[in-house]
Structure 1
Amino acid sequence: MPNPLISHQVPGLLLKRKYPKRIDGTAICLGAFAPDLSILFEPFMYSFPFRHITHSFLGLLIWVAPITIMLTIIFSRYIGPRISKIAMKEGRIYRLVAYFGFDELLHLKKKRFNKRFYIVAFYSALIGGLTHFLIDLPAHGIIELFFPWTVFSHPEFLFITIFDFGLPPLVIDRWQINSVITLFELIWYIEDLILMVISLFLLRMIKKHKLIESWYSNEL
């Protein structure tokens, strides 16, 4: 799957810019990341197919939506404003972070957690999760959308070896890094790179036009 921290945010950022009052930007972006939080729990679950759950339609309701709403509140109240303060410091790295608008996250503290917030955050989280599934679809070996009823495998041609560097696999705990790159993995890398560039461009545009400030200017 592509990098969820940056590349998965593209659909959410586009939708937030298009429908600023109908989409919770924090929830849709966190929702696009939430399915891959399974990686934090998998080492403790042994053979339990937690990833299958988080990447399924069932998981949208029992995992993505609730965890996203909780994280949206925490991020808006504490993490976002803290990142904003860090981005305002002097230094090249801090200026780079501010260049992409992370210094504007302090405005998230203006968010009000009323009934409307929970409704908008709920469906924004679902949309974010769905965009995650769509981005993963061509860049993954299996389709888990209908778990626990069934798990599909992609057509065999996607498993064709494109590059083989002839190195032994690197095993880290339960994860394995192979020197063989298949077609679907190549799609993953290309998709990841393209979406990361688009995501950074959108973040810069949001910063340049001070959109985060305008989105939350009427929250007080």
Structure 2
Amino acid sequence: MPLTFPSHLAPVLPLKLWRPHWFDGVALCTGAVAPDVAYLVSGTRFEMGARVHTLGGALWWGLPVALAYAWLVRRVVAGVAVHLPGGRLFGWPGYAALGGVRHPWQVTVCSALIGVVSHVVLDRVTHSARWAYALGVDPGTVRVAGLDWPLLANLTSSLACGALVCVLAVRAARRGQLFPDVPAAAPPDRPGMFRAVALAVVALGMPVLPVLPAATAPAPYGVRLLHLMALGTILGAWAAGRRSAGPAVVPTTTRLDEKQRQPG
């Protein structure tokens, strides 16, 4: 499978840039990663297997997870965004505006479902051996630098999709497409505190990952690592915010037509 983040965002980001008022961008992105969240419980009695990577799983697993993660992202994004590296290139501080953007519930739900379905479809496409046959080769005989076809296809798709996401993010920042109608009241940054706490959380968690169930499988290990890094940034932002002069006030929109115009 392509990397959960950022590669799985590749199918949904163009939709948001194409028609900003049609979609909830946060729900699109959380939906696009939601199926892989199930890897957190791989190897336990709660393991769900491939059921979550189906169209049916999009309803009973993907949608609730996507909505929960979208709520969390909007709660923490301001404190995290101002501390991320590459702020000028990617325009991270502008993402603080996401905390104040709200969409009609039907827009958010539909966007989350589209994100989940995009994940399932992308996995099916990249897992298929038809690409090898289309290139005139037998996938069972393909080996490049010691990599067989499934691993080679996953790495290639991950790199290609990840590169596309980075290009789109930089392009949107340079063109001023990040929330032009929403004031971004970002909290003061305290990079020293943020980095100290974030690195401490990751350092403490890294020795735990190899002893968790199914730790030798790439997908569970990768998803758990992403969550550990996310936890580190969230706690780092929380610690930095507690030492700031005051809480950030992120304006919210109230009119329905204004909500529909927001690209967040």
| Class of the TM-score when normalised by the shorter of the 2 chains | 0.7 to 0.9
1:100 to 85, 90, 107: 90
Q: Does 1:205 align with 2:171?
A: yes
Contact 1:36 1:51 in 2 (8 A): no
Contact 1:20 1:215 in 2 (8 A): no
Change (3 A) 1:4 1:98: farther
1:131 to 108, 115, 118: 118
Which has the larger strand fraction? 1
Contact 1:81 1:105 in 2 (8 A): yes
User: Which amino acid counterpart does residue 45 of structure 1 have in structure 2?
Assistant: R
Change (3 A) 1:42 1:97: farther
Change (3 A) 1:138 1:105: same
Change (3 A) 1:53 1:126: same
Change (3 A) 1:72 1:161: same
Aligned residue number for residue 82 of structure 1: 79
Contact 1:10 1:195 in 2 (8 A): yes
C-alpha distance in 1 between matches for 2:87 and 2:37: 24
Q: Deviations over 1:131-172 (max 9, x none)?
A: 112221233379xxxxxxxxxxxxxx544451474xxxxxxx
C-alpha distance in 1 between matches for 2:182 and 2:24: 11
2:56 to 58, 64, 69: 58
C-alpha distance in 2 between matches for 1:11 and 1:141: 17
How many residue pairs end up in the alignment? 179
Q: Which residues of structure 1 form unaligned runs of 5+? A: 88-93, 143-156, 166-180
User: Which amino acid counterpart does residue 18 of structure 1 have in structure 2?
Assistant: W
C-alpha distance in 2 between matches for 1:108 and 1:69: 15
Q: Which residues of structure 2 form unaligned runs of 5+? A: 130-137, 184-251, 255-264
User: Aligned to 1:71, what secondary structure does the other structure show?
Assistant: helix
Q: Does 1:8 align with 2:16?
A: no
Following superposition, the deviation at residue 12 of structure 1 comes to 1.2
C-alpha distance in 2 between matches for 1:211 and 1:189: 30
In percent, how many aligned pairs have the same letter?
A: 23
Contact 1:81 1:108 in 2 (8 A): yes
